[in-house]
Structure 1
Amino acid sequence: MKIGIFEIERDWEKQVYLETLRQNLGESLGNLELVFTSEPLDSFTVNAYSDLNVAVIYINSLVTEKVLDQLPNLKLIITRTTGTDHIDILACQKRGVAVANSPYFAFTTVAEHTIGLIFTLAKRIATAISKVKNLNFSREGLLGFDLFGKTIGIIGTGNIGKEVARIAYGIGMKILAHDIKPDLQLKEKFEVSYVSLEELLKHSDVIVVMVPYYSKTHHMINLENIKLVKDEAMLINTARGPIVDTEALIWALQNRKLQGGIALDVFEGERVLLEMEKILENRFSPQDYEKALKTLHLLSYPNVIFTPHTAHYTKDALQRNINWVAETITQFVKNKCLLTTYSFYF
């Protein structure tokens, strides 16, 4: 069995994979051909890996129907992400290719990052640090606001959204939520009130986007409903970029909405911006470049901050993810199938 593990950037990751697989498989590890690479799996690299049986991918890989056509022996895709918007799930199902995602490795990690971004905006921390590094110790532009007693609106109360609710409750915030499947335990534990998306946008001081990305959540925040938000509200997106229409954010800022700030760990045009070194390789479409330029325009506003899709990126979370990948490979090698059932949105 040949297994390709893509987007491995650090030597220690490779070593941990090997050690963990050795512990799980023992001498059977010798029957596997393991290929580690820093490359993503996509239409530009797939020719070099056409004989793979298992592909372990990450956020910059893009597995389309065209890519799958060039992987005739592929039986399993393991993505080291919670989201699966970089995989054509339906095409995989047609070909009998199993897909496993990792919904549990970083839900606390991402929630902590989300809360960190909220504090950064509320306390004007990024602006303060920038000013002081330029030897400007004035308080101009640094007037923040308290989070205690404010209302946070959580769009999507899955694993990460639940954690955000738990932490926000501890801060003393009032919690609104919107989800197609309200969680009764959240109502009891953290006094969460489930409301319509429109009500959430109208009444929240802090809006947090936590839903998975699929066709029904594309531009869930858009030019129409962005008009409902409070002038002083803030918006945080640590889910997936295309859930929020960049044009809607630009409109809001131009019309003095969302003056509390915008913090994005994910954004439209992300592939272009995260892979700038490949910008001359004709990997991206004109639409990708247009999205990236609109996203970059957001950075011209002083109350907008970005992190480069690192909400999940801690050593603890990476270790948990490696353990899960190794366990999933072990399960597949021993049983020739996955024992866990995975569900996906379309």
Structure 2
Amino acid sequence: MSRVITFFEAKDWEKEEYLRRLKERLGERFQDFEVNFVPYTLNKESSIEHGDTEIAVIYLNSVVDEEVLDKMKNLKFVITRTTGMDHIDILACKRRGIEVSNVPVYASVTVAEHAIALMFALARRLRTAVAKMKDFDFSREGLMGVDLFGKVAGVIGTGNIGSHICRLAFGIGMEVIAYDLNPNKKLEELYKVRYVSLDQLLASADVVFVAVPLTKETKHLINLENIRLVKDKAMLINIARGPVVDTSALLWALANGKLEGGVALDVFEGEKVLTEGSFLKEVCPPEVLTKALQTLYLFRYPNFILTPHVAYYSEEAMERLMNSVVAEISHYLLYKLSSKTYGEYF
């Protein structure tokens, strides 16, 4: 009987690419597997028909929780094609002896570059400029930008992505301050990064970059209390996870003369509701729907930019992603273990 690998949320182009890489990596062992590619997410409903799956290769909107695990009795390995793992109940997997893995570094540079691109877009009022040109309006009203050289970049979270943001901001000529529970000495030496408290960072930065993973501790790390500390003309850019920043806080700030430099989000609260249209398919918790609608309301401010969770999405990053996923599958098949330990996720 074939062992089953299932790719969830798979795009058409991924099938050929992953099959080719799996055949090359596994060689003769490939014939022992049935590899399925499905366009939908892994959730409590879809898990029912995939109870024979041994290796689940999931993506951003899939969920692996107790309810899903109860239905997938043959599941031995879960790998997410993302850096973040907030959609996986890692402790539940550990209790059942299910190995878990992610791809933490495939898009670190890519996401950091997108964050810097969003900063430039805010600094030079590109949303307004593009809109004016669509109307053949050549006036300069509302288009005066700001220089970034000499400004203060505040990076919240100096892991793989945050470290590259520090490097790029330093290269532009910005002073870099950072907040992280585990300061990186190398960043201090190479890019003169100065670590400060979160409150100090919010009060001092001209551009605030949010680059921390989503955990219980980081949910609403930026909130209605500390958003009041930011400079009136500061910018805020979130390329981490939506719930790290309370959308209510952003609305308050923009309505009360804060963050006049602008807000740019590649992720947002209620993201799944809007991207999957789940509010049309199922009953959404009122608080989730409220957050999604609040995000849409932000568009009334001309200094707001939203991109559809594409910070990671480049040709090079996709190559690294696919190679990393296949390498993780190969490692599991060889050792019956993930290449990572559970401790790395906490």
TM-score of Structure 1 vs Structure 2, range by shorter chain: over 0.9
Identity %: 52
CA apart distance, 1:315? 1.8
Give the structure 2 partner of residue 293 of structure 1. 293
Residue 222, structure 1, aligned to residue 242, structure 2: no
Contact conserved, 2:100 with 2:338, CA < 8 A, in 1?
Answer: no
Contact conserved, 1:214 with 1:345, CA < 8 A, in 2?
Answer: no
Give the structure 2 partner of residue 120 of structure 1. 121
3-state SS, counterpart of residue 279 of structure 1 = helix
Residues paired across the two proteins, number? 344
| CA offsets 1:149-177 (integer angstroms, 9 cap, x no match) | 00000000000011001111110000000
3-state SS, counterpart of residue 209 of structure 2 = strand
Give the structure 2 partner of residue 4 of structure 1. 6
CA apart distance, 1:273? 1.2
3-state SS, counterpart of residue 341 of structure 2 = coil
| CA offsets 1:90-110 (integer angstroms, 9 cap, x no match) | 111111111101111000000
2: CA distance, partners of 1:66 / 1:145: 50
User: Given the superposition, is the C-alpha separation of residues 213 and 339 from structure 1 closer, same or farther in structure 2, using an over 3 Å criterion?
Assistant: closer
Give the structure 2 partner of residue 56 of structure 1. 57
Give the structure 1 partner of residue 321 of structure 2. 321
2: CA distance, partners of 1:89 / 1:329: 18
- Name stretches of at least 5 consecutive residues in structure 2 with no aligned partner: none
2: CA distance, partners of 1:99 / 1:28: 22
Alignment of 1:1-346 (within 5 A): 1-11=3-13, 13-276=14-277, 278-282=278-282, 284-341=284-341, 343-345=343-345
3-state SS, counterpart of residue 258 of structure 1 = coil
Contact conserved, 2:8 with 2:41, CA < 8 A, in 1?
Answer: yes
Contact conserved, 1:101 with 1:342, CA < 8 A, in 2?
Answer: no
Contact conserved, 2:176 with 2:194, CA < 8 A, in 1?
Answer: yes
- Name stretches of at least 5 consecutive residues in structure 1 with no aligned partner: none
Provide the alpha-carbon RMSD of the alignment: 1.2
3-state SS, counterpart of residue 282 of structure 2 = coil
Write the letter of the residue equivalent to 2:65: T
2: CA distance, partners of 1:190 / 1:137: 40
Contact conserved, 2:155 with 2:211, CA < 8 A, in 1?
Answer: yes
| CA offsets 1:138-196 (integer angstroms, 9 cap, x no match) | 11100100000000000000000110011111100000000000011111100100000
1: CA distance, partners of 2:159 / 2:329: 26
2: CA distance, partners of 1:7 / 1:112: 25
1: CA distance, partners of 2:241 / 2:86: 9
CA apart distance, 1:340? 3.5
Contact conserved, 2:101 with 2:339, CA < 8 A, in 1?
Answer: no
CA apart distance, 1:345? 4.6
2: CA distance, partners of 1:184 / 1:342: 25
CA apart distance, 1:224? 0.6
Using structure 2 for the length normalisation, give the TM-score.
0.97
Contact conserved, 1:238 with 1:311, CA < 8 A, in 2?
Answer: yes
3-state SS, counterpart of residue 216 of structure 1 = coil
Write the letter of the residue equivalent to 2:114: H
2: CA distance, partners of 1:185 / 1:330: 33
